[in-house]
Chains A and B, each alone.
Chain A
Amino acid sequence: MQDFVQHLINGTSLGSIYALIALGYTMVYGILQLINFAHSDVYMMGAFSAYYLAMFMGLQNSPGVATLASLLAAAMIGCSLLGLAIERFAYRPLRKAPKLNILITAIGVSLLLQYSAQIIFGADPKVFPKVLEDSVLIDFGAVQLKSLDVAVLIVTVIMMLALNFLIFKTKIGKAMRAVSQNMTVASMMGVNVDRVISFTFVVGSSLAGVGAVLVGMKYPKIDPLMGTFIGIKGFVAAVLGGIGSLPGAVLGGLLMGLSEEMVVAYLSSTYRDALAFGLLIIILIFRPSGLLGKKGVEKV
């Protein structure tokens, strides 16, 4: 039982990171109906921009909240600029092209980022700077609440509240919702669609940056291919919850994190990746639009 609670804590912490990545996928999908394959590599670039900022400012060995905040800022800024550039130069010229073309372009961008990162940063893994002291905050004997897990949870909750505020309480958020409902009508109502789409990429990418720093904090090893798997899982989480739905992405992320942790704990770690997809397939077969997704009515 105590083991179970411990796994619950670990799973939630992992799941909230997945949720951050999933939010980026789901936001872009909600607006452009595009699976942004490059998102996982934006995430990787976020980890590297935090790493190089830490190198530059000499923060490798000064754990603390200030370090966490500055690394988060670096990753968020780095990722948003990258996201902005990708949208402007790769996706915008294809706004009217068939969906598959944009998808292939996204894959192309993803490959481009991966291979350029391998050339620029080198293919060997790097040690992420120590962000927080890994201490046990509360000790219930068999169950331990660690500072890293608590930090992950606090940061993700702050980010999700901020996102919620941004989307439901601000003018640009209203514009984003309008564009995701109907791009043409939104543009007729005076919404600058291109700007809204760019902004969506900025927000989604900076969430990926946050996720990157949190992952770097928990598992301090980064390399140019680190995005692939967490990216696929974040995407699966988004589909699981119903792609295009923000609460769905959070729910899907948590479900993914928890189920993964439980499979590793009670079954076998080699089946971890297969089970994520197994879960997805079962849910999609019985609820084709995901757990919280809206069922689209098809009109002729």
Chain B
Amino acid sequence: MRVPMLTFLGLMILGVIAEFTLDSFVQLMLIYVLINMILGMSLNLVNGFTGQFSLGHAGFMAVGAYVSAYLSTLFPDLTGGMGLVTFPVLALLGGLAAAFAGYLVGLPSLRLRGDYLAIVTLGFGEIIRVTLLNMPAVGGARGFYGIPGPTDWDLGGFVISKFLIGYAQAMFWVVACFFVIWRVVRSAHGRAFLSVREDEIAAEAMGVDTTKAKVRAFVLSSFFAGIAGSIFAHYANYLNPASFGFNRSIDAVIIVVLGGMGSLTGSLVAAVFVTLMPELLRPLQELVGVDVRMVVYSLCLILLMILRPKGLFGSKEVFELVRKYVRKTS
């Protein structure tokens, strides 16, 4: 437990620095980066480590977001320091709801393989979205307004800002997600996931219950997707089914493939890249006069796939590459 806690504390110091140096827009982008990190890492568990292809990640994020948002409206008094306790609990509940949805979806569909699985998960994602669109209790197509979120916490003159509380929450889950998946992949269950990826038939012959292994990976992955959704809901204070469409699932897949299938740190780097790329290209837009950002983004994607087909880091972690590089040069 010591390493995750130290990592979290170290990253919190970075958060405090960000609090004083960055403007509120960059801070918002930072929270979105953290959310995308959780999405990317959790999808990597299914797509990268277990070798299944899911295209419906946004659906589970939506389940987590809506469940957690709805629960929070039942307890409206969540201001200040209370947020540090309540939002993680809400995120946990949202995550559990998403995990349950993942179980329901995964059990029948994980018998399918490859592209068929991709389409069925895409279908479930769309079904979840359309169902939310038709639920007046959570706003339907108008969107879900007035979700309580973190607020400034006044400690008698000394104010801990909304951003810092949101950051702490998001960062807590990023660290939790990273270390949970890290440990799971190196456990007996994780070996089963990897064996399913490498060769499903051989895994089955060695006594791995492949469907069970796949469902486990899928449920855990949905759980973290739900948590990402919950963080998103409370920080944005507003939800709309349209923001959980096909494109968000695609974003998650892009993070996984860009960073490298089976590379957790790769997903972290790719999440930063994917979230910030459209913003970083903004000067280019001003230069040309038209909005060419997404054109450049898609071109980068195509070129990267052609020139570096294994993603940025392949199945290696970032520090493995660094170690290799250092050994070579010394």
Contact = CB atoms under 8 A, between A and B. Distances in A.
Interface string A278-300: 10110011001000000000101
Nearest to A33: B115
Of A103, A271, A277, chain B has the most CB atoms within 10 Å of the CB of A277
Contacts of A102: 305
B299 to A, nearest CB: 6
A166 interface: no
Q: Which of B111, B126, B261, B298 has the most CB of A within 10 A?
A: B298
Interface in A235-266: 235-236, 239, 243
Given A109-B298, A271-B134, A104 B127 contact: no
Contacts of B133: 270
Interface residues of A, number: 45
Contacts, number: 114
A116 B253 CA distance: 22
Contacts of B145: none
Nearest to A282: B108
B257 A101 contact: yes
B79 interface: no
B131 interface: yes
A57 interface: no
B295 A115 contact: yes
B306 A115 contact: no
B130 interface: yes
A268 to B, nearest CB: 8
Interface in B205-253: 246, 250, 253
Interface in A1-56: 29, 33, 35
A103 B118 CA distance: 11
Interface stretch (A71-79, A92-100, A132-140, A174-182): A92-100
Contact of B302 (A109, A235, A280): A109
A105 B109 contact: no
Give chain A's interface secondary structure class. helix
A107 B126 contact: no
Nearest to B108: A285
A33 B116 CA distance: 11
A119 B118 contact: no
A223 to B, nearest CB: 16
24 contacts: A35-B115, A35-B118, A90-B302, A94-B306, A101-B257, A104-B257, A107-B253, A107-B301, A108-B298, A111-B297, A112-B298, A112-B299, A118-B291, A228-B246, A235-B119, A270-B130, A271-B134, A273-B130, A280-B123, A281-B108, A281-B120, A281-B124, A284-B112, A284-B120
The 6 A-B residue pairs whose C-beta atoms are closest, nearest first, are A277-B123, A274-B130, A111-B298, A108-B301, A112-B298, A115-B294
Interface of B: 47, 53, 108-109, 111-112, 114-116, 118-120, 122-124, 126-127, 130-131, 133-134, 201-202, 246, 250, 253-254, 257, 261, 290-292, 294-295, 297-299, 301-302, 305-306, 309
